[in-house]
Amino acid sequence: MTRHRNALTALLVAAAVLTGCGSSDPAPASTPDVPSAPPVEPVAHRLSVTDVRGTTVTLKAKPERIVCLTGLCDDALVELGLTPTATTTPKLIGRPDYLGAAGAAVPALPGTFGNEDVASIAATRADLVIGLAGVHDQLRPAIEKFAPLWLVSVKTYEDSVRYLRDIATLTDRGAQQASAEQKFRDRLAAARATADQRGLRKTTALAMYGGTSIGVNTSDDLLGHLLAQVFDYPWPSKGGGFDTAQAYSVEEILTRDPDIVFIQSFTFGPDARTVTAQYAENPVWKRITAVREGRAHEVPSELWASGRGTRALGLILDEAVAKATA
C-alpha cells in the first residue's frame, strides 16, 4: 500500500505496530449457486525462487525462523500454518482471524517502520527476513551481515498470491498454499457473483485513509485494485510520486461522489480522532452521498492497511461486500 509521503509516514508507523500467523482459517464468503474457482495446484519445495519483481531468493536450507517487517509476510505465514519469529505488526497478528491470543507470544520489533532496530532483528537468529521494497532498502547492508533480506512489493491481488506461493516453495508448505489460495480464489469468485447479482458494479466505492491528512487508495494500489473487482472504482493515481499520487482533497472526492466509503483512520494517543470525527462538520464532506446516507464506514486499519496477503484480502472483500449489501 503506497501512500503520499506526508500521510505515508504516519500510516506506516501505525501499521508498524501490527502482524499475523497460523491460527484457524476463516471461512470464505458463500453465495448460492456460485461455482468454485478452478482447482489450485500445490507448489513444489525448492530453495530458490524468483518473485514477481524479478528478485531471486536462494537459501541454503529451509527457513525455520522468519522475521516479518511487513504484514504480507505475516499474512503468508498464517496462511501456511507458520508463526513469525518476530513481527512489526502485532495488532494484525493478534486479530482472532490471525493468531488471536497466541499472537501476544510473538515478539514485536522495536523501532519505527522502515527504521526497525537491527540489533533486535539480529538477536532473533533469523534464517530469513522479509521486508517491504521502498521502505526497508536502507536496512539491507546491516541485515545481510547475519541473514538474507527479501524485499517484496504488491500492486495486485495476483502479486499477493504469487508471494504466498513463493514463501510456500521455500518453506515446503505446498499443501497449505493450495488450500489457502483456493479459499481466496473461491472468496473472490463469490464476491464477484454477489456484485453482479446485487448491482455493485454500478456502486461507486472509495477506500481512503487519514491521520493528519487524507489520501485515497488509487486503482493502481493493491487495495484499490481489489475493490475494483467488485465495485465501480474511479480513483486513478495522480502521478508524481508519494507526494501527489494519492493526495485527493475532500472537494475532489465530492466530484466523484462515492456511494460507499471505507475509511482507515490512523490515530495516536488518547485525544486522537478518527477521520469521520475530524470531518464531521466539514460542509463539503457532508455533501458526499456516502456520508449523507450513513455509508461512510470506519474499517480496521491493521487489516485494511497492513494486511497485504490472501487472508487479509479475503476478509476485506467479505467486509466490503457485507457493508455494501446491508
**What's the rounded Cα separation, in Å, for the pair 46 and 61?**
9
Return mean pLDDT, the chain.
Answer: 90
The domains of the chain, with CATH numbers, are: 5-183 (3.40.50.1980), 199-325 (3.40.50.1980)
State yes or no: pLDDT of 11 exceeds 60.
no
- The C-alpha angle 75, 3, 96, rounded to 5 degrees, equals 25
The cell numbers describing 255, all together, are 466530484
pLDDT reported for residue 242: 66
Q: With contact defined as beta carbons under 8 Å apart, do 128 and 45 qualify?
A: no
Residue 13 has pLDDT above 80, yes or no: no
DSSP string, 267-303: --STT---HHHHTTT-HHHHHSHHHHTT-EEEE-HHH
Residue reference for cell 503468508:
76
- CB contact at 8 A, 86 and 110: no
Q: List the beta bridge partners of residue 286.
A: none
What is the per-residue pLDDT for 12? 36
- pLDDT tens, residue by residue, 171-201: 999 999 999 999 999 999 999 999 999 999 9
Identify the pLDDT of residue 122.
98
Shortest CA distance to 27 belongs to which of 314, 320, 324?
314
Cα separations (Å) of 100 from 71, 95, 307? 15, 5, 15
**Which residue reads 508463526 in cell numbers?**
83
pLDDT in tens, 63-102: 999 999 999 999 999 999 999 999 999 999 999 999 999 9
Summarised one tens digit per residue, pLDDT across range 235-251 is: 999 988 767 889 999 99
